[in-house]
Chains A and B, each alone.
Chain A
Amino acid sequence: MSSRLARIDHLAVSQCSFLHALPAKPKLIATLILLAGIVATNNLRQGMMLSCLLLGLLFFSRLPLWLFGIAFYPAFFSLPFALVKLSVSPAAATAVICKAVSAALLLTLLLASTPFPQLFGAGAKLLPNLVTDALFFSYRLFFIILESLERLLLSLRQRGAFARSNFAWSNWVTLHALGYLMVNTLAVSQRLDQNYRLRGYQTSVYLGATSAAWRVADLALVAALLVVVGGVLRFG
């Protein structure tokens, strides 16, 4: 998951497409509308129509196809619930899986097309400052400690920490490594907080400033999406 997150983060800032060019707030609203549509679908036909829409977005935004693979992770967890629906019909069961995959793909598209400060900034007005700050700091910290973890694991392996012949010893080392990682993460987090404060970080100034004003095109997009989703649910 961690390498996936790093790759998605990279896509969000390095790719160019119509999806990337959209400001974060309208994109977030559009995502919520689509998600509501996905959750509200009653049958497989409606689910497939929305899925096709999302696949079209994936294709035209020139994002890599492996993103679609991420969406299949929740498909696995939707299987038990699909089995329940199997008693109604196979189509109903498939609709459950379709919903799960579509919703996951939708959120992945959002994450892969929106740099994280813009994404968190778009939600900044809805959430308390502490929560927005925590989202921002945690996200940034995650990548820092990921590197620390990789170096730590390499160092431990080189020193013979993980031995198949000694299960108890390996587990003991792993737990202490986690403890070390925790202490290190707390220290890094404190330094990160200090450095950001030194650089003038304030939630409302930084994250608020990353969200651009709404344009007519953004309003039109949201309206069009409402019509499309409404149409799918009504006539699908």
Chain B
Amino acid sequence: MANLVVELKGLSYTYPDQTVVKAEGIPFLVQPNQKVALVGATGTGKTTLLQHILGLLRPASGQVRVLGRDPVKAFNDVRWQIGFVSQNPDEQIIGPTVFDDIAFGLRARRVPLLQIEERVEAVAQELGISNLLAKVPHHLSGGQKQKVALAGAVVACPQLLVLDEPFSGLDACCKRELVRFIGRLNQELGMAVILSTHDLELVPDIADLVYVLHRGQLIMAGSPAEVFTCVDELRTAGLEPPAVVQLGMQLVGLGLIPEVPLSLQAGIELLQKATSDGTVTSLLV
């Protein structure tokens, strides 16, 4: 396929302690402007796969292409096109203040100072951290650090945003904000997004395409609706479909609703429709 943002096939990597991590099976492909979720149980190799995309690891076998290039060989060029938020934001915070940290990527690209100030303030406002710009990052809460890390990753408008377990440690409100923000980045800036998670509840709200990784194999790829209705396969992979999907499948089985909802809101709408058109009443009689 032409112009793929990420293309990964038949990956295998051996860590120094001889642990082998694989991502074989279905090729991992990301189109421009696409939002992709990589799901799998803890320890299946999601972070390892992402590190290959980022050019931090060289595969023992397999092929990795990012924006048409080998991310290891072309690391110094490809990294400018990627924004990354790691599992632990403490490990990527670099500046003495929040402003300096967010501005870091722009300074590294030698963007003029005036533009830096404008862009940093704009991103901070989007994420609701304008009041933190003068603060010292390592004194912030986990959620605030996450936002700072995200701001730093997107301020230079990269073509690809990679997020490693972005929802861990966040409360429900922060998770929803993050989902909305990522959605806007994708829609307004055309940023491709790859995020890894083992928490499937938010995936339907955020991803167009879901890849499931299990025991070194990419076993499934499809839309959230296609993947999450394969309950048995998901459970084999150590994952639990979202609660609303499980409930929806039961309700579809009972004939109460016509399709499986992927979100709570969709489920509510389907039930309301079923109530108003008499489906529920007729079944109860």
Contacts and interface: CB of A to CB of B under 8 A. Distances in A.
Contact of B79 (A9, A191, A197): A197
A189 to B, nearest CB: 9
A192 B91 CA distance: 5
B84 interface: yes
Contact of B108 (A13, A117, A202): A202
Contacts of A206: 94, 104, 107-108
Interface in A160-196: 188, 191-192, 194-196
B97 interface: yes
Nearest to A9: B136
A10 interface: yes
A188 B87 CA distance: 12
A3 B159 CA distance: 41
B97 A115 contact: yes
A234 interface: no
B51 to A, nearest CB: 8
A12 B56 CA distance: 34
Nearest to A192: B91
B90 A144 contact: yes
Q: How large is the interface on A (under 10, 10 to 19, 20 to 34, 35 or more residues)?
A: 20 to 34
A13 B91 contact: no
B86 interface: yes
Contacts of A200: 79-80, 104-105, 108-109
B94 A199 contact: yes
B110 interface: yes
Interface string A6-48: 0001101110000000000000000000000000000000000
Contacts of A126: none
A40 to B, nearest CB: 33
B94 A201 contact: yes
A198 B84 contact: yes
A195 B92 contact: yes
B134 interface: yes
A186 B91 CA distance: 12
Interface in B1-58: 51, 54, 56
B107 A196 contact: no
A196 B95 contact: no
A209 B96 contact: no
A183 to B, nearest CB: 12
Of the listed residues A143, A188, A195, A206, the one surrounded by the most CB atoms of chain B closer than 10 A to its CB is A195
Given A12-B96, A117-B95, A194 B56 contact: yes
A144 B104 contact: no
A206 B88 CA distance: 22
A117 B100 contact: yes
Contact of A198 (B56, B93, B134): B56
Interface in B115-156: 134-136, 138-139, 152
Of the listed residues A143, A198, A202, the one surrounded by the most CB atoms of chain B closer than 10 A to its CB is A198
B108 A199 contact: yes
A140 interface: yes
Contacts of A188: 91
Given A13-B97, A144-B91, A198 B54 contact: yes
A10 B139 contact: yes
A68 interface: no
A199 B138 CA distance: 18
A191 B109 CA distance: 22
Given A191-B91, A200-B79, 5 more contacts: A10-B139, A13-B136, A117-B95, A197-B75, A205-B108
